[in-house]
Chain A
């Protein structure tokens, strides 16, 4: 049952098709390479390609079983940061990884953390993002999307006591990290991005998840990992939840005061930010909102020098590379919802209406 359109590949036989979509000029896709003095991006690419934990994928560290999240981030980074010369290898790496991800998918569509740890499913949006980018594994992608649509964070008005303690709308369903628990900002934002890339950006679940994201925005800017206020105290914003929320809002084409305040928060936080994962996500979000600050390239290079060679550098290297490319936000936020709507079956429409 093919319910999803065959999405135009972002990577195909031509130079990365982002160029065809007009999101980037051909010249800007090529990392400057000098064999005697390679750019930091080229060094990062080499290191990333060299630290695969197996033939199929990357783990969080440099040993252990490959895991879905680092594998997807590494593939997206290699694909977006490569050049003509590297394209064959990048595609080969990524297709092998995409095949491996499909191979460990559960029959119901859930993607586990790895082959070793079979739950809990929050990695499913990452798999969808990779398959959409490569335009492969249509049926696996369809199962993953249906599983994602079937998953929602626990909701319900838990009475006056709960309302007085927790400051957000507990009736809005987003996505949880783990089935059977509450909705949280990061898995909700990633699910919105994945469903959007799969052509379901207009799905009611995406709309509700977006409302949840907006509801959880901190009054003074940015997002915490989930709550807005507890016992009347506004919590502190964090870069990663803020960045993925902003990417989700960008994917939905939403401009709101919450997004503006989120961008302001990230721009305020950036000068002190050296942690590569936070820096990478933050710059991706600022790119998506056309708000890249001056000095971003220097910050990325500095963060690379901090994390190069570390045992746990896979996600760091990947996110720094992604953040360095103008076209990267498209890998997360582009969509073609009109085609998807045409391909929804009656059964899926019924599922839709139940939300």
Chain B
């Protein structure tokens, strides 16, 4: 067992993630491109103009385009991990829209999942119920008879940190993850003022229990946000990502940014590939996002030529996302 304080040995520098990309330099693309030469992953991009369209059909078609079928889901315990950060009913673009969560749950139910639960540990608010109420997800879960697990206050298990991108020897994870056969990351498409973007990989911060890591999960900030993202992804190993980019966030994300209508859902079974595609849709350069550079070759492909793009071409849905006007973030555009 651990006293987490003993694990925190590395002090965070400001703007860690983007700084990491800067440090990696222009050689990163070529080096990592070579590292991931044997990796291939399909990613499906769908247009979805609003939350009122038939999201279930779009998601079902997308999964089938990715080669999945009801047999993949049948009888399995499915855990949906949306992105709920903090409560604000005036800024719904902070959190994954409830309509997306419901649609994904209904697809898995219709495909014969043994169970579907929604689970999250909000990063900025110790009262999870408040975030559920104000995000609108709480009422949706009740209407849809979907169980919710508060990962911030779940039983905890410790696992060894296999990837060791941080100095953390072990990671504390919610016991609920152990019982899931399929873990689905359901993030919001957002810019992020520390690491450039927050998508399906960064969304995994939310599985880390607040009772162990605090609110916000400052231990992981000190360990390095980008490296922590990689360690968590390697430990949790999600099976699918579906990114809510219908109303996304640009500017000062992940909390104070402005709503941006991007009109897309992006999905795939390899999270770095999904995130790299999202970054391209956002008009940014994935090789300038430190943790994607770190993920390349280790967790999946980032290079466009290693991603089998299905559905809508990126060019047909791409739109320029504003980023915070700060020198450390300008590199995301280059």
CA distance A165 to B222 in the complex (A): 17
CB distance from A285 to the nearest CB of B (A): 14
A61 at the interface (CB under 8 A from B): yes
A186-B8 contact in complex given A176-B214, A176-B218, A236-B88, C-beta closer than 8 Å = no
**Are the CB atoms of B214 and A181 closer together than 8 Å?**
yes
**Contact among A179, A230, A273 with B5 in the assembled complex (CB-CB below 8 Å):** A179
CB neighbours (8 Å) of B215 from chain A are: 177, 184, 186, 225
**Pairwise interchain contact B150-A275, C-beta atoms closer than 8 A:** no
Contact with B along A267-302 (1 / 0, CB 8 A): 000001111111000000000000000000000000
A143 to B5, CA, bound (A): 18
Contact A316 B193, beta carbon cutoff 8 Å = no
| B153 CB contact (under 8 Å) in A60, A120, A225, A307 | A60
Q: Is the CB of B8 within 8 A of A181?
A: yes
A9-17, A90-98, A110-118 - the one binding chain B: A110-118
Complex interface: chain B residues within 8 A of A182 (CB)? 218
Closest CB-CB distance, A315 to chain B, in whole Å? Answer: 8
**Contact partner of A179 among B3, B86, B129, B150, CB < 8 A?**
B3
- Given the known A-B contacts A118-B3, A274-B133, are A181 and B221 also in contact in the complex, defined by CB atoms under 8 Å? yes
How far does the alpha carbon of A69 sit from the alpha carbon of B133 in the complex, in Å?
23
- Which among B127, B153, B155, B216 has the greatest number of chain A C-beta atoms within 10 A? B127
A342 in contact (CB, < 8 A):
no
Q: Are A179 and B4 in contact (CB under 8 A)?
A: yes
Mask: chain B, 297-334; 1 = CB below 8 Å from A; 0 = not: 00000000000000000000000000010100000000
Is B218 within 8 A of A181, CB to CB? Answer: yes
**Bound CA span A256–B82, Å:** 39
The docked-state distance in angstroms from the alpha carbon of A113 to that of B14 is 30
Does A347 have its Cβ within 8 Å of any Cβ on chain B? no
The complex places the Cα of A313 from the Cα of B212 at a distance, in Å, of: 20
Q: For residue B132, which residues in chain A have a CB less than 8 angstroms away from its CB?
A: 275
The interface size of chain A toward B, counting residues with CB under 8 Å, comes to: 52
Bound: A187/B222 CA distance, A:
18
| Contact yes or no, A225 B216, CB < 8 A | yes
| B214 near A64: Cβ-Cβ < 8 Å | no
Measured CA separation A225–B125 after assembly (Å): 7
Contact between chains at A231 and B5 (CB < 8 Å): no
Report whether B219 and A181 are in contact in the complex, using a CB–CB cutoff of 8 Å. yes
Q: Within B122-154, which residues are at the interface with A (CB < 8 Å)?
A: 124-127, 129-130, 132-133, 150, 153-154
A117 and B88 form a contact (CB under 8 A): no
Interface set, chain B 1-35, CB cutoff 8 A to A: 1-6, 8-9, 11, 14
CA distance A182 to B213 in the complex (A): 12
Q: If the complex has contacts A179-B8, A230-B193, are A278 and B130 also in contact, measured as CB distance less than 8 A?
A: yes
Known: A116-B156, A277-B127. A162 touches B14 (CB 8 A): yes
The reply to whether B14 and A165 form a contact with Cβ atoms under 8 Å apart is yes
CB distance from A316 to the nearest CB of B (A): 7
A161 in the interface, Cβ–Cβ < 8 Å?
yes
Chain B interface size band reads 35 or more
Say whether B326 contacts A178, CB under 8 Å: no
One digit per residue, 1 when the CB lies within 8 angstroms of any chain A CB and 0 when it does not, for chain B 217-256 equals 0110110000000000000000000000000000010011
Whether A231 touches B326, Cβ cut-off 8 Å, given contacts A161-B14, A274-B133, A275-B130, is: yes
Q: Does A5 contact B (CB under 8 A)?
A: no
Write out the residue numbers on chain B whose beta carbons fall within 8 Å of the beta carbon of A109. Answer: none
Q: A225 vs B126: C-alpha distance in the bound complex, in angstroms? A: 9
A220–B127 Cα distance when bound, in Å, is 22
Chain A contacts for B87, CB-based, 8 A: 238
Indicate whether A275 sits within 8 Å of B256 (C-beta atoms), given known contacts A119-B4, A184-B214, A186-B215.
no
* A226 contacts B216, C-beta separation under 8 Å: yes
Q: Judge whether B172 is part of the interface by a CB distance below 8 angstroms.
A: yes
Q: Which B residues lie within 8 Å of A276 (CB)?
A: 129
Contact, CB under 8 Å: B4 / A277: no
Name the B residues within 8 Å of A206 (CB-CB): none
Does A131 belong to the interface (CB within 8 Å)?
no
Fill in one digit per residue for A98-128: 1 if any B CB lies within 8 Å of its CB, else 0. 0000000000001011001111111000000
Across the A-B interface, the 9 shortest Cβ-Cβ residue pairs: A177-B214, A179-B5, A119-B3, A180-B8, A60-B153, A275-B130, A275-B129, A181-B218, A120-B4
15 A-B pairs besides A120-B3, A235-B256 with CB distance below 8 A are A113-B156, A116-B1, A117-B172, A119-B1, A176-B214, A178-B219, A181-B214, A225-B216, A236-B255, A238-B87, A238-B125, A239-B130, A240-B125, A240-B126, A240-B130
**Partner-A contacts on B (CB < 8 A):** 1-6, 8-9, 11, 14, 86-89, 91, 124-127, 129-130, 132-133, 150, 153-156, 172, 193, 211-216, 218-219, 221-222, 252, 255-256, 324, 326
